[in-house]
C-alpha cells in the first residue's frame, strides 16, 4: 500500500481492505513517502509492516510520485524475499469485494505468458454505458493503474528503466512507452475492481474526479468467477479476437453516433464499425468522437488492442476498428462507410458528452464579488450565482 500525506484516505482504504475476503491471510506492507507521523501510528495500530521512503523531488512535482513508486515497486520484493508477485495499491481507491480473488484468479497468467506484464484492477472505460460484464478480462495496450499486480522479474527489469529523477513526465506514461512496455500487454477487466475516490491527487484534480471518475462503475459482487482465462495467452487471444471480429456485423453510421442509437434493435451482435485513424494520435478525432458519443473515457484513446477499441454496450459487444492503424482493417468489406468526423461532428460530440458529464451538477455555483462596503461582505450580500452557460446573476 502506497501512501503519503492523507491519513483519512489511508484509514478508509485499510477498513475497506480488511473487509475483502482473503485480506487477513495476505501480507501487507505500507510504503510511506516521508516521515508521516499520523500514518505511521495508524499502520502500527493495525500491526502492519512499514517502510519509509526519503522523499525525492519538490512538493507538487511529478518527481515526488515517480520516485516513490520506484522505491515501492523495488522494495516490496526486497522486504518479502520469497514472493514472486505483488499488488501495488494507491491509497485513494475503493475496492471491490472480490479485489483479492480477482488477482488470485489471474496470477498464473503472468507466469504462463511473458507477453503479459501486469494485471490491472482498474479500467478507464469502466462506465455504465460501455462496461457490462464483470467476468470478462481483456489484453490491452495500457500502463499500470489504480491497483495492479506485477512479478519480481518485471520489477527488477523496470528498476533500471524507470523514469530518471530529473526527467519531466509521469511514471505511468513512461512505463507505457515502447522501450519499457516492449509490446507487452496488460490484462484489464471490463468492469473495474477499484474506484478512484480521491479529489485532490497528484494526477486527478477535483474537477477530473467530479467530471470523469465519479461516473465510473466498479464491481460489487463478491463471487464473480472470471471467464475464458485460458484464452488470454497471446496466440489464443489473437485467434479468438480475430474470429469474433470476423463474425461481427458491420455498422455504417449514416449520421452522428451521438444523435441516434448505434446498436440496432433486436440484434445481439457482436458488431464492428470502421473509423479513420492513421496513428495512435487519432488525427481525425475518430476514436474521440466515438468515445464521447458512447460515454466512454473522454480524455484519450487508452486501452486499445492492435488499433481496436472494444466496448460492451448493455450486453452488446462493439468493436471500433481504426484504419489504417489496425491490422484488422483487412477485414473491411467493400461498400461500407468508414467514419471520418467533420469538425461539426467533433463539436457536437463534445457538447453531447459535456451534457452527460454535468447532468448531476447544480444549476449554478456561488462566487463572492468585490464588496462596495464592508457591510456587504459581513452580511454576504456580495454573492453571485454563476451558471454553466457563463451568465452571472447577483443573489441579492
Q: Which residues contact 5 (CB under 8 A, 6 or more apart)?
A: 33, 34, 36
Give the full edge-to-edge strand order of the sheet including 85-88. Answer: 85-88, 148-151, 116-120, 185-189, 137-140
Q: Does 390 have pLDDT greater than 80?
A: no
> HSE of 98 in the Cβ direction (CA atoms, 13 Å)?
21
Same domain, yes or no: 271 and 287: yes
- Does 233 map to a domain? no
Same domain, yes or no: 54 and 197: yes
Range of the structural domain that residue 272 is part of? 247-357
Same domain, yes or no: 274 and 222: no
Lowest mean pLDDT among 44-58, 179-193, 359-373: 359-373
Q: What is the pLDDT of residue 12?
A: 93
CA distance 180 to 142: 12
Same domain, yes or no: 132 and 186: yes
Q: How many CB atoms lie within 10 A of CB 162?
A: 19
Same domain, yes or no: 378 and 329: no
The tally of domains found in the chain comes to: 3
Same domain, yes or no: 13 and 89: yes
Same domain, yes or no: 200 and 304: no
pLDDT tens profile 257-314 = 888 888 988 899 899 999 999 998 899 999 999 999 999 999 888 899 999 999 999 9
The better pLDDT of the pair 5, 350 is held by 350
Which among 387, 385, 288 has a CA at the least distance from the CA of 346? 288
Beta strands in the chain (DSSP E): 2-3, 29-33, 49-53, 85-88, 93-95, 116-120, 137-140, 148-151, 185-189, 194-196, 249-251, 271-277, 308-313, 316-324, 364-368, 383-387, 392-394
Same domain, yes or no: 90 and 210: yes
- Does 235 map to a domain? no
Same domain, yes or no: 220 and 155: yes
Q: What is the mean pLDDT of residues 350-356?
A: 88
Amino acid at each position: 500500500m502506497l501512501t503519503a500525506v492523507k491519513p483519512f484516505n489511508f484509514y478508509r482504504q485499510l477498513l475497506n481492505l480488511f473487509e475483502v475476503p482473503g485480506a487477513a491471510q495476505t501480507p501487507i506492507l505500507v510504503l510511506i513517502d516521508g516521515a508521516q507521523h499520523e500514518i505511521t501510528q495508524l499502520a502500527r495500530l493495525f500491526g502492519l509492516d512499514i517502510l519509509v521512503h526519503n522523499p525525492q523531488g519538490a512538493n507538487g512535482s511529478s518527481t515526488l510520485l515517480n520516485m516513490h513508486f520506484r522505491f515501492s515497486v523495488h522494495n516490496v520484493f526486497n522486504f518479502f524475499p520469497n514472493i514472486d508477485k505483488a499488488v501495488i495499491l494507491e491509497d485513494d481507491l475503493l475496492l471491490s469485494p472480490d479485489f483479492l480473488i480477482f488477482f488470485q484468479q489471474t496470477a498464473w497468467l503472468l507466469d504462463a505468458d511473458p507477453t503479459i506484464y501486469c494485471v490491472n484492477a482498474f479500467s478507464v472505460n469502466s462506465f455504465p454505458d460501455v462496461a457490462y460484464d464483470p467476468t470478462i478480462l481483456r489484453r490491452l495496450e495500457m500502463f499500470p493503474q489504480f491497483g495492479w499486480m506485477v512479478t519480481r522479474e518485471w520489477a527488477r527489469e523496470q528498476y533500471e528503466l524507470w523514469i530518471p529523477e530529473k526527467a519531466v513526465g509521469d511514471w505511468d506514461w513512461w512505463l507505457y512507452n515502447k522501450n519499457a512496455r516492449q509490446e507487452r500487454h496488460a490484462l484489464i477487466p471490463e468492469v473495474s475492481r477499484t474506484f478512484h475516490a480521491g479529489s485532490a491527487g497528484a494526477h486527478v484534480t477535483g474537477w477530473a474526479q467530479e467530471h470523469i471518475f465519479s461516473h465510473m462503475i466498479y464491481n460489487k459482487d463478491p463471487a464473480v468467477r472470471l471467464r475464458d482465462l485460458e484464452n488470454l495467452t497471446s496466440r489464443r487471444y489473437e485467434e479468438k479476437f480475430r474470429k469474433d471480429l470476423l463474425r461481427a456485423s458491420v455498422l455504417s453510421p449514416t449520421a452522428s453516433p451521438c444523435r441516434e442509437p448505434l446498436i440496432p434493435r433486436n440484434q445481439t451482435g457482436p458488431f464492428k464499425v470502421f473509423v479513420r485513424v492513421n496513428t495512435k494520435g487519432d488525427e481525425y478525432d475518430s476514436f474521440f468522437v466515438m468515445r464521447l458519443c458512447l460515454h466512454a473515457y473522454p480524455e484519450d484513446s487508452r486501452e486499445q488492442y492492435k488499433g481496436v477499441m472494444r466496448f460492451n454496450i448493455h450486453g452488446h459487444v462493439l468493436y471500433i476498428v481504426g484504419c489504417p492503424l489496425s491490422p484488422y482493417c483487412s477485414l473491411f468489406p467493400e461498400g461500407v462507410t468508414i467514419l471520418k468526423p467533420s469538425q461539426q461532428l467533433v463539436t457536437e460530440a463534445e457538447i453531447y458528452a459535456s451534457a452527460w458529464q454535468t447532468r448531476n451538477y447544480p444549476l449554478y455555483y456561488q462566487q463572492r464579488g468585490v464588496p462596495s462596503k464592508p457591510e456587504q461582505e459581513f452580511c454576504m450580500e456580495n454573492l453571485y450565482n454563476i451558471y454553466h452557460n457563463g451568465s452571472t446573476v447577483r443573489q441579492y
